[in-house]
Amino acid sequence: MEMISKSKSFGGEQRVYRHKSTVTGTDMDFAVFLPREALDGFVCPALFFLSGLTCTWENVTTKGLPQLHAAKHGMIFIAPDTSPRGEKVADNESYAIGKGAGFYINATQDPWASHYKMEDYIANELRTLVIDALPVDEDAIGITGHSMGGHGALTLAMKYPGKFHSVSAFAPIVNPAAVPWGQTVFELYLGEDQEPWKQHDACMLVLAKGWDGDILIDQGTADQFLEEQLTPWAFEAACRKAGVDLTLRMQGGYDHSYHFVSSFLADHMAWHADRLD
């Protein structure tokens, strides 16, 4: 890994790394906050934060103030990018397709299949990389995310329960197979056959695989995407049917922005710290 920046923050360090990914075939950047304990060599719990459409690692690290909360809990905070990038990486004029819109799945259709392998990148390559290079406790890794990243957090946690030990989400896309954002992307990335889509839909996964722990979701009631794209009640119904303990908090007046995320990020990080202790 090449460290391309570092800044002292709340007694720890906010770093950005770059590495050559064998999974995506591109250079990938990601951000890591190391609390004081990690800098002193102590193994620490870690939380992955998956960002939403159009974002990079920078959105949450500059707008969410995760460093404050991670320092409080002695937690390593890892923020990957949302897609592969580079001149040879396929793209689309729509903000919901292509660069910035990897959807944390492995694309199987051309031209996306060459580089868009974000499921393998997050769950396997990047997770292994940070465990090998940083003082991450591999038995205490949580995952959370916002919007598209909330979709990624929920689906990857249920598909890889031995790798992610706690899961939460902010305004996640919980039923992408049934909403416009997901349907458009799934058809392009995975093909018209909808059977493979089930492996990337949180509502279908919780019914098929369940989840041994509990789940926390925060959702703003003034979110402009609530009715058409997010539909948290679908996941609530699926969790109830699957017997999974879900806390869905509808937060009055909050929209889809990072003003919403930053308002409740402290709650989520404390929630993960309790479960990763």
Q: What pLDDT is attached to residue 40?
A: 97
- Spell out the domains of the chain, with CATH numbers in brackets: 2-276 (3.40.50.1820)
The confidence score (pLDDT) of residue 236 equals: 98
Active site (catalytic) residues: 147, 223, 256
What is the structure's pLDDT at 195? 96
The DSSP-derived string for the chain is -EEEEEEEETTEEEEEEEEE-TTTSSEEEEEEEE-HHHHTT--EEEEEEE--TT--HHHHHHHS-HHHHHHHHT-EEEEE-SS--STTS---SSTTSBTTB-TTSB--STTGGGT-BHHHIIIIIIHHHHHHHS-EEEEEEEEEEBTHHHHHHHHHHHH-TTT--EEEEES----GGGSHHHHHHHHHHH-S-STGGGGG-HHHHHHHH--SSEEEEEEETT-TTIIIII-HHHHHHHHHHHT-EEEEEEETT--SSHHHHHHHHHHHHHHHHHHH-
**Would you give per-residue pLDDT tens digits along the chain (277 residues)?**
999 999 999 999 999 999 999 999 999 999 999 999 999 999 999 999 999 999 999 999 999 999 999 999 999 999 999 999 999 999 999 999 999 999 999 999 999 999 999 999 999 999 999 999 999 999 999 999 999 999 999 999 999 999 999 999 999 999 999 999 999 999 999 999 999 999 999 999 999 999 999 999 999 999 999 999 999 999 999 999 999 999 999 999 999 999 999 999 999 999 999 999 9
